[in-house]
Structure 1
Amino acid sequence: MSLHAHLAVQRSGFRLDIDLTVAPGQVVALLGPNGAGKTTALRALAGLTGLSGGHITLDGTPLHTLAAERRPIGMVFQDYLLFPHLSALENVAFGPRCRGASKSDARRRAAAWLQRVGMADFARARPRQLSGGQAQRVALARALAAEPRLLLLDEPLAALDARTRLDVRAELRRHLADFGGATVLVTHDPLEAMVLADHLVVIENGAIVQQGGPAEVARRPRTDYVGRLVGLNLYRGVAAGKRVKVEEVLFSVAEHLDGPAFVAFAPAAVALYRTRPDGSPRNLWQARIEGIERHGDNVRVHLEGPISASADITPAAVAELDLTPGRQIWAAVKATETHAYPA
């Protein structure tokens, strides 16, 4: 049940043009900034947005010629969109009924799915009586009860609070592992993508800018957006041997490269100094503090200068260095903590 799609959608001032392939049992996550085209791609797959060109083929069968209601697709929307006048059981039974199942068979399947997602005790509850996490479970059960060949998830955990999201994410991962069809997930959350997906596709301005396994994308980001997404400082420069020139800063790196290259390092790898450190430390530049904010247990310092960067340091270091916005500071990164790769 592999999915092969070339999605071309033309709208006023925007064009989406991407190719997607999803293998049976595979979960592909679409990531990208707001307005990149992720939801447009999902709606095109579902038949809710028409194609300007291209095709959608699922297990060898063209889908782009079929109306939305005739496509073998299950979809979980960001706001779940459960039918407010139906109980949880009736919501889940809706899919099988649309596929031609009898009322009794549809209700039997719905009850089995509510049991699987831990919602059997809420079969008679209406959507307004459910919490966000409970509604998400019912929406997933409704999507899967129709036995779709393609599952589409549009920000399925976005409406949940942090504690509920943690629990539901683990449950969703388990259900996706049991699903034999193709799954396409749209999310803004990098952790959600890393945990749930086998393959990441990053979209910017309607085009694919990077794709690969989660570990590969995290290790070698190729755009500023992806760098921020995975929590790295990322720069494009020109390499010559074990040095990469980025703007006015010459980075010493562990890798031997020549030509266009990326340099990446974690904010935690950046050391800050009030005055120029003694000796000749490599990868050193002077910057101005643009802003300071809490970041987990540490403090993130945003730097402006020949290159912009983020540095994560302890609250004690902020006090010791007397860091304030606008202050000049020296920043350094060890060569062993940088990662360079071809651009």
Structure 2
Amino acid sequence: MTVDLTVHAARQRVSEPLLDARLVVDRGGFRLDLPLTIDSGEVVALLGPNGAGKTTALRALAGLLALSDGHLTLAGQVLDRPSSRSWVPTEQRPIGVVFQDYLLFPHLNALDNVAFGPRRHGLDRRQARRQAADWLHRMGLAEHARRKPRQLSGGQAQRVALARALAVDPALLLLDEPLAALDARTRLDTRAQLQRHLAAHPGATLLVTHDPLDALVLADRLVIIEHGQVVQEGDAATITAQPRTDYVARLVGLNLFRGHARGQTVLLADGFRLTTAEQHDGDVFVAFPPSAVALHPDRPAGSPRNTWPAAISGIQPNGDNLRVQLSGPIEVAADITPLAAAQLHLVPGQRVWAAVKATETRTYPAAPA
């Protein structure tokens, strides 16, 4: 029996997350209340609109902002617990940070930038530089070791910043919009390199980003916050299939509406009705992609089950297509080809008819409002 209990206890310890936190921060009229766990080797992306609390969460984890309540435990060590007045200063936390603007020391070359962390952790100059050289080699930057930050490209500076964060062997790696400062081509290449390095990192990683593509490519799990609260959490497939707020719907490129279903009819709050392919009873979300919205100069006849008059409120490029914003009884986005736009002579303010087939909609239960 003793052996069995010991083995069971060991399994429980193995299953415990590396990061276990409830981040509660009160700042003026804003309150962040974010439960957050991350396993060893896991990459979690924290997404949300401006003002949602992403930066507050990152600063609290890094020790730049004290918790008002809750707790922060990393690798079994309590870093912040206001109820017991436990607090570990920033410089003593086993955390590496890559800032949005990288914040490399301009007077140090790449080698000494990376060696800075190991030196702070007690290694002598020679050992720290040896460790830094190894990390630059892993990043493919060995030949740039003697260059100052101003002599590096954006992608190279990002990799030096990542090497500096990883050189201290952090239990938690924090990435604050790590690709935001890069141009589109450099971003593509650097994202692929970052994905490879994160896969090899044994610790926990939190990626703070506003870019859904970065999150979908780099993260194992997404946590989405609005107004300081978690509104949705899960893997990419779950969240893209069933968004639960307007922000999440826009993030994954879907039109989203909430209403009350009876059979295949969903009554929205403003009285508009949508016909769906699936039958439900109760509160539901109805989602459909912009590509499912067809535009017509006159009211269409035939198969579409949902048609309504609309006005064009905006037109923007969207990849190879155009994204048309429509106002009317419901506000939706439609994706059409430039040829279709030319044939319809689309301009802002123009009146059109919109149509969505019931078979193009996706309906799923919503918690009662």
Q: TM (normalized to structure 2)? A: 0.91
> Residues of 1 paired with 2:329 and 2:122: CA distance?
65
List, as ranges, runs of 4+ consecutive aligned residues in structure 1 with deviation greater than 4 Å.
Answer: none
The structural deviation recorded for 1:89 is: 0.5
Aligned-residue CA RMSD in angstroms?
A: 1.1
| 1:189 aligned residue | 211
| 1:228 aligned residue | 250
| 2:147 aligned residue | 125
Residues 1:254 and 2:277 are matched in the alignment: yes
In the alignment, structure 1 segments of 5+ residues that lack a partner are: none
Q: Percent identity?
A: 66
| 1:81 aligned residue | 103
Amino acid corresponding to residue 294 of structure 1 in structure 2? P
Amino acid corresponding to residue 244 of structure 2 in structure 1? R
5 Å-filtered alignment, 1:295-310, equals 295-310=318-333
5 Å-filtered alignment, 1:1-343, equals 2-64=18-80, 65-246=87-268, 247-279=270-302, 281-343=304-366
Give deviations 1:105-140, integer Å, cap 9, x for gaps.
111110000000011001011111111111100000
Give deviations 1:152-194, integer Å, cap 9, x for gaps.
0000000000000000000000000000100001001000000
Contact 2:304–2:358 (CA under 8 A) maintained in structure 1: no
Contact 1:269–1:334 (CA under 8 A) maintained in structure 2: yes
> Residues of 1 paired with 2:351 and 2:338: CA distance?
18
The structural deviation recorded for 1:255 is: 2.3
After TM superposition, the structure 1 stretch with the greater mean CA deviation from structure 2, 331-340 or 169-178, is: 331-340
After TM superposition, the structure 1 stretch with the greater mean CA deviation from structure 2, 256-265 or 271-280, is: 271-280
> Residues of 1 paired with 2:308 and 2:66: CA distance?
51
Equivalent residue pairs, number: 343
Q: TM (normalized to structure 1)? A: 0.98
Amino acid corresponding to residue 248 of structure 1 in structure 2? G
Contact 1:249–1:285 (CA under 8 A) maintained in structure 2: no
> Residues of 1 paired with 2:202 and 2:170: CA distance?
10
> Residues of 1 paired with 2:125 and 2:275: CA distance?
69
The structural deviation recorded for 1:280 is: 6.2
In the alignment, structure 2 segments of 5+ residues that lack a partner are: 1-16, 81-86
Contact 2:99–2:177 (CA under 8 A) maintained in structure 1: yes
